[in-house]
A = this chain, B = another copy of it.
Amino acid sequence: MAPAKKGILERLDAGEVVIGDGGFVFALEKRGYVKAGPWTPEAAAEHPEAVRQLHREFLRAGSNVMQTFTFYASDDKLENRGNKLSFTGAQINEAACDLAREVANEGDALVAGGVCQTPSYLSCKSETEVKAILKKQLDVFVKKDVDFLIAEYFEHVEEAVWAVEVLKETGKPVAACLCIGPDGDMHGVSPGECAVRLVKAGAQIVGINCHFDPMTCVKAVKMMKEGVEKAGLKAHYMVQPLAYHTPDCSCQGFIDLPEFPFGLEPRILSRWDMHAYAREAYNTGIRFIGGCCGFEPYHIRAVAEELAPERGFLPEASEKHGNWGAGLEMHTKPWVRARARRDYWEKLKPASGRPLCPSMSSPDGWGVTKGHSELMQQTEATSKDQLKQLFDRSKSQ
């Protein structure tokens, strides 16, 4: 029997770098197992082999955390807008826990149970109702004995605090991530103040995930860190950004981009962008460094390779990757062998191959958030009339 693994807080307290995984919904959408729109994780029950394989790839790439594939797996979300599923929320959550545990056991990784924001909150349900929804997912995590918990992808710090309060009841370590940028949450609360509230609610790890590109997320976590330190509090920090460049995003991040979600390809970060990100995150004092939507296994591997000097080892998948492109020494063509050097890839400004496309977009700016009638969620499918109104409004922007 293997010796017990070190827990998440042990690792972070010891100053170790913990590498997260990448986002499952986008990766599995491209592989054909997740539907863009509802973004629900029923594949954990429907196609376990696909989910297991993605876990394994992230493990090989260097991830120390297998997040259960339970994003948007709250009952109110699973049933949102006519999303018909043949598995119950409990079945999906349980299957996800089993898969994460199975692969975590194949290496040095912990299992993190994850919850995220709920349609109930957007629809102005009460604190009690929202907490009850989150509690249902949590029951599965307790039963399956995950190693720690992550509340992530919250746009409103108020709901995130509620989530932390629920998660804390388990006694397990709790991490909390907002999906906000330097401008703060949807109610205008600054990153520093958000972090303070989360720490006070009991989160031992705070940070940012999704919605913005790596450098923007690191900047926002830096503001969180400054807020926490200024308040005389203490915390660990994490960041799990997009693998998409988002220089043109406003407060709601990539959701507002005209390219979301089916035209984001030209924005995908290269592995070299990931090196720069990992270094910047590390230098900012963040030690739990992972990814979200858009991350593929090779992006996580690049993070692990950049931080190999600090960690003392390379990830398993680096057996298939030469340091800074060194594998190209084995290429057939001499001019490609000439690219086998750090200097070349660090300086490259890659072309888009799209001369008819711009480099930045004007994000949508509907400016609606919790409380606006347009954000009320519903279980029945969006009707044709509702769609027509949306199209018309969209064209008049």
Residues on A facing B (Cβ under 8 Å): 29-38, 49-50, 53, 56-57, 60-61, 80-83, 119, 122, 213, 244-248, 255-272, 296-298, 301, 316-317, 319-322, 325-341, 344-345, 348-362, 364, 366, 368, 374-375, 377, 381-382, 386-387, 390-391, 393-394
- Does A297 lie within 8 Å of B327, measured CB to CB? no
The distance in angstroms between the C-alpha atoms of A333 and B81, with both chains bound, is: 11
Given contacts A353-B359, A375-B334, A393-B338, contact A266 B268 (CB under 8 A): yes
Q: Are A358 and B360 in contact (CB under 8 A)?
A: no
A390 touches B263 (CB 8 A): no
Residues of B contacting A29 in the complex (Cβ-Cβ under 8 angstroms): 298, 320
Chain B residues with CB below 8 A from A244, complex form: 353
Q: With A262-B270, A262-B272 given, is the CB distance from A382 to B330 under 8 Å? A: yes
Nearest to A268 among chain B residues (CB) is B265
A42 to chain B, nearest CB (A): 9
Residue of B nearest to A328 (CB): B37
9 sample A-B contacts, Cβ–Cβ < 8 Å, listed by A number: A36-B325, A36-B327, A49-B53, A244-B353, A260-B336, A266-B354, A333-B375, A357-B358, A359-B359
A264 to chain B, nearest CB (A): 7
In whole angstroms, what is the CA distance A364 to B336 when docked?
9
Which B residues touch A255, using CB under 8 A?
333, 336
A249 to chain B, nearest CB (A): 9
